[in-house]
Amino acid sequence: MLFRVISFTKTGVFSPTNLKTIQRGCFGKMSVALESVPKVDIDATGVFKYILLNVYDKTKVNVEPTVIVRGYKRCNYHSDIYDEVQEALQPLDCEPLGGGRISHDPENNKIHIYGYSQGYGKADHEIAAKLIKKAYPNYTITVSDEGY
């Protein structure tokens, strides 16, 4: 079992109003709208399904995708999360990379990432943990391939 400490960064609300691109050195171009998408949006407490997604600016050529984590108790299926996120990100496009579950315990500053999605397969929990670590720096993050 992995043990991680993570931090919280206020990300703000995504607004697709500015689709200019900026130069990102050797990484190529990245859309300003794409950069404004919060990397992590998960529920504040409880156990819930999550998905890892690649987000693309479909209006630009040679724009690097960004990886995001989304997880909500209100969604019974991983595909419900995808449908909700896909609609919210318009005009950007997204692709599910896999899913799993998150147990978020804010009283003890702990997040546990585990399991898989029957529809999308298992997400790379290490990537999810790195993104969540940046959003919740004072938390202990654990990852497991066990459980559903």
125 part of the active site: no
Residue 39 marked ligand-binding: no
Considering the candidates 78, 104, 112, 125, report the single residue annotated as catalytic: 78
∠ CA(78), CA(83), CA(86), 5° rounding? 120
Report the DSSP beta bridge partners of residue 141: 4, 111
Measure the CA–CA gap between 101 and 47, rounded to whole angstroms: 7
Measure the CA–CA gap between 141 and 124, rounded to whole angstroms: 14
Report the DSSP beta bridge partners of residue 49: 72, 101
Q: Which residues are annotated as a binding site for substrate?
A: 49
Q: Which residues are annotated as a binding site?
A: 49
Catalytic (active-site) positions = 78
